């Protein structure tokens, strides 16, 4: 009798273990995975604000109709060295612009030196030959106002003697500079701009960060829609 009881206890314990493993694989493991995933989404889908107030384009170019307000903008300062500017422009166009130009609110702004309209016209023409450039804004600005705009970004960088920056910048719909505070490749962790010379950085960092902003916009729109339904 004792041996029979021990046998039943052994069979029952094995059954419990199998049942537990089955339950764990079907319900508990996915739940744990979802919790970790949710924590990851919260962490990585809140792109930091690095500068609270960037001046608007109207301040540096009163004649322009372009504005940062209510737009998600990628900004670059291309300077007077056309060859250097061209390489950066085409990298940015191929890697970022072509991915997002059909998205709502999106625009690209190139700040160019006043007086070089003719010199840049050929480059812009080349760009338009294989790209719908309707979401590109090419704005010609004086050196003083170029510096004024650039300095309002409050980055640790400086424009070179040609008025060129090798970085592209993200300005959100409320005229705030967005970037990273925990970038593993940047001293101090703060990533203010994305190197236009590096396709890898544009693809792996800038693209991801723009996706984060669009994720935030989507979630914000969903919250507003829920509030309206509840009223």
pLDDT, tens digit, 9 for 90 and up, residues 53-93? 999 999 999 999 999 999 999 999 999 999 999 999 999 99
- Round to whole Å and give the CA distance between 178 and 193: 9
Look at 19 and 47; give whichever has higher pLDDT: 47
Taking only the tens place, the pLDDT of each residue in 37-51 is: 444 443 446 899 999
- Round to whole Å and give the CA distance between 68 and 133: 18
The confidence score (pLDDT) of residue 70 equals: 95
Angle (CA) 124-66-170 rounded to 5° is: 80
Look at 141 and 43; give whichever has higher pLDDT: 141
What φ, ψ does residue 186 adopt, rounded to 5°?
Answer: -115, 135
- Across the range 152-165, mean pLDDT stands at 97
- The SS3 of residue 183 is coil
The confidence score (pLDDT) of residue 227 equals: 74
pLDDT higher than threshold 70 for residue 33: no
pLDDT higher than threshold 90 for residue 171: yes
- Across the range 95-103, mean pLDDT stands at 97
Place of tokens 């314990």: 13
- Round to whole Å and give the CA distance between 179 and 170: 7
Q: With 0.85 as the threshold, say if the pTM is over it.
A: no
The confidence score (pLDDT) of residue 27 equals: 59
Q: Contact at 8 Å (CB) between 169 and 193?
A: yes
- Round to whole Å and give the CA distance between 56 and 210: 20
DSSP code at position 176: -
Whole-number average pLDDT of the chain:
87
- Round to whole Å and give the CA distance between 153 and 172: 12
pLDDT higher than threshold 70 for residue 26: no
**Residues sharing a CB contact under 8 Å with residue 224, sequence separation 6 or more, in sequence order:** none
- Across the range 140-150, mean pLDDT stands at 98
Look at 35 and 18; give whichever has higher pLDDT: 18
pLDDT higher than threshold 70 for residue 3: no
Cβ burial, residue 34 (10 Å; 0-12/13-18/19+): exposed
The confidence score (pLDDT) of residue 14 equals: 54
The confidence score (pLDDT) of residue 17 equals: 53
């Amino acid at each position: 009798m004792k041996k029979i009881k021990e046998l039943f206890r052994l069979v029952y314990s094995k059954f419990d273990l199998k049942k537990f493993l089955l339950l764990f694989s079907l319900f508990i493991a996915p739940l744990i995975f979802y919790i970790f995933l949710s924590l990851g989404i919260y962490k990585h889908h809140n792109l930091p604000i690095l500068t609270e107030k960037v001046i608007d384009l109207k301040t540096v170019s009163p004649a322009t109709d372009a504005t940062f307000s209510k737009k998600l903008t990628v900004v670059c300062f291309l300077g007077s060295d056309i060859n250097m500017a061209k390489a950066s422009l085409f990298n940015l166009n191929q890697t970022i612009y072509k991915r997002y130009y059909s998205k709502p609110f999106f625009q690209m702004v190139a700040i160019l030196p006043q007086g070089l309209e003719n010199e840049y016209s050929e480059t812009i023409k080349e760009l338009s030959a294989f790209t719908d450039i309707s979401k590109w804004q090419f704005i010609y600005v004086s050196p003083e106002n170029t510096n004024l705009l650039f300095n309002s970004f409050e980055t640790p960088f400086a424009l070179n003697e040609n008025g060129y920056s090798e970085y592209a910048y993200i300005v959100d719909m409320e005229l705030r500079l967005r970037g990273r505070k925990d970038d593993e490749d940047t001293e101090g962790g703060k990533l203010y701009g994305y190197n236009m010379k590096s396709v890898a950085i544009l693809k792996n960092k800038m693209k991801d960060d723009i996706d984060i902003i669009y994720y935030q916009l989507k979630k914000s729109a969903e919250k507003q829609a829920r509030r309206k339904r509840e009223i």
